[in-house]
């Protein structure tokens, strides 16, 4: 069972929403669409479902061209962040409705409804109407209705955004197991890199209507093909600063250097771009070879267990994610340290030249 997109694009009133895209999704896999708001995640899912017709390209399901096929004639289930339920039906009947339309045996309908309701923690609410539920419970009802269809392709567009933290974490673990066992192709859209890492499987990163990379989630995270992908797969986004190579040294910013070793030793002398994730910036020196930078502190944000620091380093805006709660002087210069093993090197065109040493060792 495969879903294959070949050169698929989408235009809206002369504007390109999805640039020509090739993707192949296989049976029993979880595939995360990761990107910021308006990057094209929902547009791509609607093309996969058949809700929208592509401006170019073809869509194949199990080797058959289904580009012009109606969504009603495809084995597709889709759940949006903004839940949709039938207000006049009970929760039980909402969940059962797609199976009744398919003519599933009554006993089987009852079994699957109750199993799914138990997973979604909806069992005590089966006799209620959707409007008698909280927003999170209504979303769980919509999600349950998609799960019971046993569809070959299940598309979830930020489906857990309205749920509380505990249930969200439980479902992130359970949902992949359900679809792996069923053999369905699972496509899950999110704006959160952390959620992509928790879900695992494969990840496609999107930026302004383009799929920048697709592959196993840990590989895309550790070895992004370019600076755009690295920016997408980092929350807050990856920090950057200019770097130049001269002989056996890499010169970062003003006066900081590190030895050019491994693949970097073979680089021609010249200018490049260094990138590092916010959680790799430190306010104390932990390694002997860490590089020291001075930056102006603009804002701090406390999360309870971590501190976000917003910095200006000679016009470059950086964000650091520091473990622990720190009260730091706003507007003053702050010394920060960066272990060179956590630095990615990109070319002037943005393409990845060398991943961070820690990523290769992971």
- 331: confidence class by pLDDT, cuts 50, 70, 90: confident
Closest of 170, 172, 156 to residue 33, by C-alpha: 156
Give the C-alpha separation, 323 to 257, whole Å: 26
Highest-confidence segment of 82-86, 164-168, 220-224, 291-295: 220-224
pLDDT at 311 over 60: yes
Least confident of 151-160, 175-184, 231-240: 175-184
Least confident of 178-187, 212-221, 224-233: 178-187
Highest-confidence segment of 18-27, 179-188, 285-294, 295-304: 18-27
Residue-level pLDDT at 361: 58
Closest of 241, 17, 27 to residue 153, by C-alpha: 27
pLDDT at 362 over 60: no
Average the pLDDT over 316-325 and give the result. 91
Mean pLDDT of the chain: 89
Closest of 8, 15, 137, 13 to residue 83, by C-alpha: 137
pLDDT at 342 over 80: yes
Give the C-alpha separation, 262 to 42, whole Å: 41
Residue-level pLDDT at 178: 66
- 221: confidence class by pLDDT, cuts 50, 70, 90: very high
CB neighbour list of residue 95: distance below 8 Å, 6 or more residues apart = 113, 116, 117, 122, 141, 144, 145, 148
pLDDT at 136 over 90: no
Domain layout of the chain by residue ranges? 2-230, 236-361
Residue-level pLDDT at 271: 93
Q: Assign a CATH topology to domain 2-230.
A: Rossmann fold (3.40.50)
* pTM, 2 dp: 0.88
- 183: confidence class by pLDDT, cuts 50, 70, 90: confident
Tell me the CATH number for domain 236-361: 2.40.50.140
Residue-level pLDDT at 45: 96
Q: What is the pLDDT of residues 89-120, one digit of tens each?
A: 999 999 999 899 888 999 999 999 998 898 88
Average the pLDDT over 38-52 and give the result. 94
């Amino acid at each position: 069972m495969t879903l294959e997109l070949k050169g698929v694009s989408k235009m809206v009133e002369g504007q390109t929403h999805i640039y020509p895209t090739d993707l192949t999704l296989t049976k029993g896999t979880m595939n995360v669409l990761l990107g910021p708001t308006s990057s094209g995640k929902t547009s791509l899912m609607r093309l996969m479902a058949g809700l929208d017709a592509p401006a170019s390209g073809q869509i194949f399901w199990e080797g058959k061209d289904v580009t012009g096929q109606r969504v009603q004639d495809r084995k597709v289930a889709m759940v949006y962040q903004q839940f949709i339920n039938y207000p006049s039906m009970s929760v039980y009947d909402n969940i059962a409705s797609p199976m009744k339309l398919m003519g599933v045996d009554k006993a089987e309908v009852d079994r699957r409804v109750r199993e799914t309701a138990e997973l979604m923690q909806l069992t005590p609410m089966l006799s209620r109407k959707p409007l008698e539920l909280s927003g999170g419970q209504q979303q769980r009802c919509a999600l349950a209705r998609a799960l019971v269809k046993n569809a070959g392709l299940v598309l979830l567009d930020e489906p857990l955004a309205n749920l509380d933290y505990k249930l969200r974490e439980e479902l992130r673990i359970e949902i992949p197991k359900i679809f792996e066992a069923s053999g369905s192709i699972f496509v899950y859209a999110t704006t959160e890199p952390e959620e992509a890492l928790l879900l695992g499987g494969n990840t496609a990163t999107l930026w302004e209507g383009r799929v920048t990379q697709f592959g196993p989630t840990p590989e895309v995270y550790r070895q992004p093909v370019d600076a755009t992908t690295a920016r997408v797969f980092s929350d807050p986004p990856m920090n950057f600063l200019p770097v130049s190579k001269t002989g056996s040294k890499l010169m970062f910013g003003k006066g900081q250097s590190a030895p050019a070793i491994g693949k970097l030793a073979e680089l021609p002398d010249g200018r490049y771009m260094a990138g590092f994730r916010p959680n790799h910036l430190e306010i104390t020196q932990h390694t002997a070879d860490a590089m020291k930078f001075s930056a102006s502190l603009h804002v701090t944000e406390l999360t309870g267990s971590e501190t976000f620091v917003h910095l200006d380093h000679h016009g470059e805006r950086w964000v650091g994610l520091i473990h622990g709660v720190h009260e730091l002087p706003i507007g003053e210069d702050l010394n920060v340290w960066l272990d060179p093993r956590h630095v990615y090197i990109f070319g002037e065109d943005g393409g990845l030249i060398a991943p961070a040493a820690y990523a290769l060792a992971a």
